Structure 1
Amino acid sequence: MPTISETYLENRWRVQPNHANNYGTVHGGNVMKWMDELGAMSAMRAANEPCVTASIDQMNFNRPVPTGETVIIESYAYETGRTSVKVALDAARENPRTGEREPTTKSRFVFVAIDEDGKPVEVPDLSVGSDRCRRLRERALERERDDS
């Protein structure tokens, strides 16, 4: 049984000119793609199977990220269904020189585990053994309640 902490991933992308719109900030579609890719990896760690995106909950882009800054995305699975995995995703902008961070985007994605034929397969429950696991899960569930 995987733990929530084992599904936790963090990645960084430096915003290049080819990622930017005509305002010199990252395209929202790039942020969504990066969140989807990292979220799928968290889901696969939870499911121990390939996973595909089933749904994306509300996604608000609260702050722009200019070219030259870094987008940091944190991802972790916090709940499983029979064949699905819920993943919490948080993005922030980071100044690469100072390390100063500012939250930009939050979302939840649901992924479905599939077999080699693309059919849904069952996933194991997630273990919540440590304080860190409990804090991560509570943070995600609290956000889910706030969005309802």
Structure 2
Amino acid sequence: MASLTETHIENRERIQPNDTNNHGSAHGGKIMHWMDEVGAMSAMRHAGETCVTAHVGDLDFKRPVPGGDTCVIGAYAYATGRTSIRVRIRAFHEDPTTGDRERTTDAYFVFVAVDADGAPTPVPDLAVDTERGEELRAAALADEPRG
């Protein structure tokens, strides 16, 4: 079991020509794929088990990620159910030469922990043991989609 801050995962993908759409920016499906992978890693870090995607909520593309830039995906677990883990995932485009970032995509995913047979398995409660963890959880809960 990891604390909230220990579930934070960040990954980078360079937007290559085969990652782009006909507008020269990252294809939305690629970004969704990367978000799903990073979100699952965050959930697994907490659960200590394999986690599979159960729900994607409010996946909002706010602006494109230009080809040649870097797509940074950040995720952290912020709440748990009996077998589920809710993960906030955000994507940014980052200029590879300066490191300047701009948020491009927000999403909330739910993952379910599964055992070796693929059956849902219980997850531990998520510990929030730092002020930063409290801030991250509060932000995720405040912005979480309702309904």
| CA apart distance, 1:130 | 0.7
Aligned partners of 1:87, 1:62: CA distance in 2, in Å?
A: 19
Aligned partners of 2:103, 2:18: CA distance in 1, in Å?
A: 22
| CA apart distance, 1:79 | 0.3
Q: Classify the secondary structure of the residue corresponding to 1:82.
A: coil
Q: Confirm or deny that 1:13 pairs with 2:13.
A: yes
**Conservation of the 8 A alpha-carbon contact between 1:25 and 1:66:** yes
Aligned partners of 1:31, 1:65: CA distance in 2, in Å?
A: 9
The code of the aligned residue for 1:119 comes to: A
| CA apart distance, 1:69 | 0.2
Equivalent position of 1:33 in the other structure: 33
| CA apart distance, 1:99 | 1.3
Equivalent position of 1:50 in the other structure: 50
Aligned partners of 2:65, 2:74: CA distance in 1, in Å?
A: 16
Q: Classify the secondary structure of the residue corresponding to 1:35.
A: helix
Equivalent position of 1:74 in the other structure: 74
Equivalent position of 1:98 in the other structure: 98
| CA apart distance, 1:2 | 2.2
Equivalent position of 2:112 in the other structure: 112
Q: Classify the secondary structure of the residue corresponding to 2:58.
A: coil
**Conservation of the 8 A alpha-carbon contact between 1:39 and 1:109:** yes
The code of the aligned residue for 1:80 comes to: T
Q: TM-score, normalised by structure 1?
A: 0.96
| CA apart distance, 1:133 | 0.9
Q: Classify the secondary structure of the residue corresponding to 2:6.
A: helix
**Conservation of the 8 A alpha-carbon contact between 1:2 and 1:125:** no
Q: TM-score, normalised by structure 2?
A: 0.97
- Unaligned segments of structure 2, at least 5 residues: none
| CA apart distance, 1:140 | 0.5
Aligned partners of 1:29, 1:105: CA distance in 2, in Å?
A: 12
| CA apart distance, 1:60 | 1.3
Q: Classify the secondary structure of the residue corresponding to 2:139.
A: helix
The code of the aligned residue for 1:37 comes to: E
- Number of residues of Structure 1 aligned to a counterpart in Structure 2: 146
Q: Percent identity?
A: 55
